[in-house]
Amino acid sequence: MDQQQATISPTIDGILAHNRAFVERRAYERYATDKYPDKKLAIVSCMDTRLTELLSAALGLKNGDAKIIKVAGAEVAHPFGSVMRSLLIAICELGVEDIMIVAHTNCGAQHMSGKEMVANMERLGVSAERICGIDFDRWLAGFGDTEEAVRRSVDMVRNHPVMPPHVRVGGYVMDSDTGELTAVR
Ligand code: ZN
Give tens-digit pLDDT for 139-181: 887 888 999 999 999 999 999 999 999 999 999 999 999 999 9
First to last CA, the chain: 50
Residue 153 has a pLDDT of 97
Sort 164 into a burial class: Cβ within 10 Å, 0-12 / 13-18 / 19+.
exposed
Confidence category of residue 112, pLDDT binned at 50, 70, 90: confident
Q: Are 78 and 149 in contact (CB under 8 A)?
A: no
Centre of ligand 1 from the C-alpha of residue 23, in Å? 31
6 DSSP assignment: P
The most distant pair of C-alpha atoms in the chain lies apart, rounded to whole Å, by: 54
Q: Are 3 and 20 in contact (CB under 8 A)?
A: yes
Give the mean pLDDT of 102-123: 90
Give tens-digit pLDDT for 49-60: 999 999 999 999
Please say if the pLDDT value at position 184 is more than 60. yes
The answer for residues whose C-beta is within 8 angstroms of residue 28's C-beta and 6 or more apart is 22
Please say if the pLDDT value at position 1 is more than 50. no
Q: Provide the mean pLDDT of the chain.
A: 93
Confidence category of residue 73, pLDDT binned at 50, 70, 90: very high
Q: Can you list the alpha helix ranges (DSSP code H) found in the chain?
A: 10-24, 54-59, 82-92, 114-123, 128-131, 136-139, 146-158
Centre of ligand 1 from the C-alpha of residue 95, in Å? 27
Q: Are 173 and 182 in contact (CB under 8 A)?
A: yes
- 88 or 134: which carries more pLDDT confidence? 88
Centre of ligand 1 from the C-alpha of residue 34, in Å? 29
Centre of ligand 1 from the C-alpha of residue 103, in Å? 7
Centre of ligand 1 from the C-alpha of residue 106, in Å? 7
Residue 143 has a pLDDT of 83
Whole-angstrom distance, CA of residue 90 vs CA of residue 170: 16
What is the three-state SS of 128-158?
HHHHCCCCHHHHCCCCCCHHHHHHHHHHHHH
- 129 or 153: which carries more pLDDT confidence? 153
